[in-house]
Amino acid sequence: MSRIGKKPVEMPAGVSATVSGQSIEVKGPNGTRGFKATDDVDIKVDGNIITVTPRGNSKRARQQWGMSRTQIANLVQGVTGGFKKELEINGIGYRAALQGNILKLSLGFSHDVEFPIPEGVKITVPKNTEIVVEGNDQQLVGQVAANIREWRKPEPYKGKGIKYKDEFIFRKEGKKK
């Protein structure tokens, strides 16, 4: 039995959900998000509670039960509070700047890296060594943050590069004389 799938998803005030067939659409203060579930689960909305139940006892139905419930919970969180990833830039001369709809990164290359900001994501640069990626789609926010980090991953000797704010970089000892 799925432990996560059993938990109902509660919608806060100001959030509404509509189910049509296997698709659910959630509306809230941060926009509208939708999800289409497989035929292995049933989705029901009762007042401000969304429940997901499996159709049958097959392994696939049990897998989709927990996954569908988590996806719906992420929709509700996305339209109420949104998702946020914070990146930190370490290294001498490494910095970030925002110019219109383009994030400019100086990462030690012979040229600045220009990263176009995709639709549905808001990027802010509070300091020139910090980048904040926000949006209501968890997958998109995580993917954009990973794409920015990919330009210069943190290296283990000096820790230079772009890392997540809560990420720990395992440091290595350098060469000895």
Of 61, 80, 99, which closes a domain? 80
My answer on whether 64 and 96 are in the same domain is no
Overall average pLDDT of the 110-139 stretch: 93
**Which of 119, 118, 29 minimizes the C-alpha distance to 76?**
29
Q: With 90 as the cut, is the pLDDT of residue 150 above it?
A: yes
My answer on whether 69 and 100 are in the same domain is no
Residue 169 maps to a domain: no
Residue 18 maps to a domain: yes
My answer on whether 7 and 73 are in the same domain is yes
Residue 6 has what pLDDT? Answer: 87
Sheet with 95-99: strands ordered across: 95-99, 102-106, 113-116
Q: With 70 as the cut, is the pLDDT of residue 138 above it?
A: yes
For residue 130, give the amino acid letter: E
> Structural domain of residue 87, as residue ranges?
83-164
Query: What is the chain's mean pLDDT, rounded?
Result: 91
Residue 106 has what pLDDT? Answer: 93
| Pairing outcome for strands 130-135 and 102-106 | unpaired
My answer on whether 16 and 28 are in the same domain is yes
Residue 159 maps to a domain: yes
**Token pair in block for residue 34:** 């939708």
Q: What CATH number has the domain bearing residue 37?
A: 3.90.930.12
- Per residue, the 3-state secondary structure of 116-165, as one string, reads ECCCCEEEECCCCCEEEEEECCHHHHHHHHHHHHHCCCCCCCCCCEEEEC
- pLDDT above 70 covers a percentage of the chain that reads 99
Residue 177 maps to a domain: no
Digit-coded pLDDT (tens) for 90-99: 989 999 999 9
Digit-coded pLDDT (tens) for 20-71: 988 999 999 988 999 999 889 999 999 889 999 999 888 998 889 999 999 9
Confidence (pTM):
0.85
Of 80, 106, 127, which closes a domain? 80
My answer on whether 93 and 76 are in the same domain is no
Residue 24 maps to a domain: yes
Overall average pLDDT of the 80-86 stretch: 93
Residue 1 has what pLDDT? Answer: 62
Residue 174 maps to a domain: no
Number of domains comprising the chain? 2
Residue 17 maps to a domain: yes
My answer on whether 111 and 159 are in the same domain is yes
Cβ(133)–Cβ(126) below 8 Å = no
Using CA atoms, how far apart are residues 91 and 107, in angstroms rounded to an integer? 8
- pLDDT above 90 covers a percentage of the chain that reads 65
Residue 151 maps to a domain: yes
